Structure 1
């Protein structure tokens, strides 16, 4: 069996992008576990893409002939892309909504098991599969397989299933987006809320990629290799993400030494006391006058944009002056607003579900938990106490 390796300049860029994607996905998942499952799904989506790109790198360079055991190891991740993307969209727009996520992973997990019929084949089988795709002029190896690599006869439809999975989950994501837009009275191409607009843009980006992949497979044949187009696109995407992360990092806004030891969180902050007073005033105005907390997609980054300050500075002022985290601050405003609505005459006519939506929560359980934590009563008990008094 031949084992020729050819590495071109593009292959180096691909490898760098893969390592960057792996690191970024780890960073997103690690931090997302503390704040938002949407970030976890986004990180897993990126990691799946990186693993697919890594196998394409092995195939393009010929390194796969030296580690034939890894041939098609990434195939199951084709079916993880759709679910991870859909769950990222759903968790971003409805962060507190409970959902049966396991349903979405039936096909990917099944394929993880099923692909072992192929992975357990002799290396000659994998070598022949590789050269049929990349080097059809090479002489195939002689091999006798003792069991079928595709007992159900479905691996031959792997590309078709990938296309169906991607498009089905894109449609599901679109339904979730349209539902959210309807609830906030926004149009798909005229969105004023930054976070929803970002989600819309992510959806458009992914549906274009899915349609491009599908079109190329249909036009060139399902067994054709479209990695030479998709993988460079992936590299550009990763480099753009890396640039956005580094360009927005506050770490680079100040002098530093590689010999620095960890210091207090805001010890090197450039904010003066007058600046902190000004930022605090803007935060209070946005919360108390404009009721930014009532937006169920409100975020620290969104608040920072509203008052034209950096996220780091807004977080610092909330922590130092109010002795709260951003989420604790929002929760306190939402509960106080709920108490106000309940005290008003119209409040007695509100259902708890309507109250939840008005104050900015996405789920009744999260609202009840926050309300009871601050008042020691559930919203229903609080309403009854008002009637008694």
Structure 2
């Protein structure tokens, strides 16, 4: 007899969080692959946590009994998420041991190997296991088990090992963050540094999730209370989606539903003299006011500074200069960084400090832009 399905408000919130998390992670990974390591690791983290939530949703609703082949499919990701978060922090704060990044994937790979013994079990074993972890009072099936699903005897301690794994990485990430804050002579709670504030806030959320995890595992049996964890994570994903939408450059241009990109400026009312006037305003802001130095520089902010519409400013940048707004920012920022690196002060500053002085929050994004425009890394440029 198959357990009844449970579809309620909690199940609805979690599945929306899953779909939204996968959707967001796809674009973050796509846009940052080989270009922005911090964002790449964050995209992978959101994907991993979304897949873990999906497994939890299957258990909570009872759909797992209709898709037994998916039973515990996300378990190896428990030993990947904290590592991805640490790599996000490390690359944001100037990590440079790129060849050692793969080491943080080892726990997940090892656990995947351990789980293979379970994945190869017949459906009866997975059915009984799902009944047990969800504490459901249904008759068990007769198992035809040819080999143990846990020959090393470690999967019975999955929750304990997951908690230890997260705590270790929280300690490592917190230590790295606190050392960086101390080196800058700031306070973690009052810092105005955008990068530090972002990492601090993310770290606090992960600590909160870990605390909820520990409480849930001590109060409830097996996976019964996991939906409390997933509700909090869904809230985090919803907030992330709102932040992305609020910061999107899409709203800086005049767009209509399903507008064809190639027709973007076809109906523009700008003539050549107006374009030249707007170009002069853009150039003045960039070269005289150094608008690009602000880490929050945006197309809408630039347009406001020269009293023009974002759509017209974007058009002039695209058509007259042949750049996107962000390419224009990168050009001025790299030019400014080259000037700094040639000075005596520039020789004393760290690359991350130079990056922050020209408007970058991420060292890796700065390195990528610098190398793309100069064919050199900032360090090799300074050394030469």
The reply to whether TM is greater than 0.5 is yes
User: CA 1:152/1:95 → structure 2, altered by over 3 Å: closer, same or farther?
Assistant: closer
Aligned: 1:142 with 2:142? yes
Q: Report what 2:287 is aligned to.
A: 284
CA shift for structure 1 position 277 = 3.9
Q: Does 2:323 match 1:327? A: no
The 5 A counterparts of 1:249-264 are 249-252=248-251, 254-258=254-258, 260-263=259-262
Alignment of 1:303 with 2:303, yes or no, is no
- Decide whether the 8 Å contact of 1:117 with 1:148 is kept in 2: yes
TM-score, length basis structure 2:
0.80
* 8 Å contact from structure 1 (residues 335, 371) kept in 2: no
Deviations 1:106-160 (A, max 9, x none): 1100111210111111211111111123243211112131111111110011101
Residue 355 of structure 2: aligned partner = 360
What's the CA shift for 1:31?
Answer: 0.5
Residue segments in structure 1 that go unaligned for 5+ positions in a row: 293-297, 342-346, 382-389
1:250–1:228 distance in 2 versus 1, CA, 3 Å: same
- What CA distance in whole angstroms lies between the structure 1 residues aligned with 2:238 and 2:350? 44
TM-score where L is the length of structure 1: 0.79
Structure 1 vs Structure 2 CA RMSD: 3.7
C-alpha separation between the residues in 2 aligned to 1:250 and 1:126? 47
Structure-2 residue corresponding to 1:59:
59
Listed one character per residue, the Cα deviations across residues 303-327 of structure 1 (whole Å, up to 9, x for unaligned) are 3399676897787776667666232
Cross-structure match for 1:242: 241
Partner of 1:220: 219
Measured in 2, the distance between the counterparts of 1:176 and 1:211 equals 21
Check whether the contact 1:11–1:57 (CA below 8 A) recurs between aligned residues: yes
Question: Does residue 1:7 correspond to 2:10, yes or no?
Answer: no
More relative contact order in 1 or in 2 (CA 8 Å, sep 6+)?
2
Instruction: Give deviations 1:266-324, integer Å, cap 9, x for gaps.
Output: 76889965555444433334549xx93xxxxx75xx23399676897787776667666
Alignment of 1:63-102 (within 5 A): 63-94=63-94, 98=98, 100-102=100-102
CA distance 1:269–1:223, shift in 2 (3 Å)? farther
Task: Name the stretch that deviates more: 208-217 or 361-370.
Answer: 361-370
Conserved? CA contact 2:13–2:234, under 8 Å: yes
1:262 positional shift: 2.1
- Structure-2 separation of matches of 1:65 and 1:27: 32
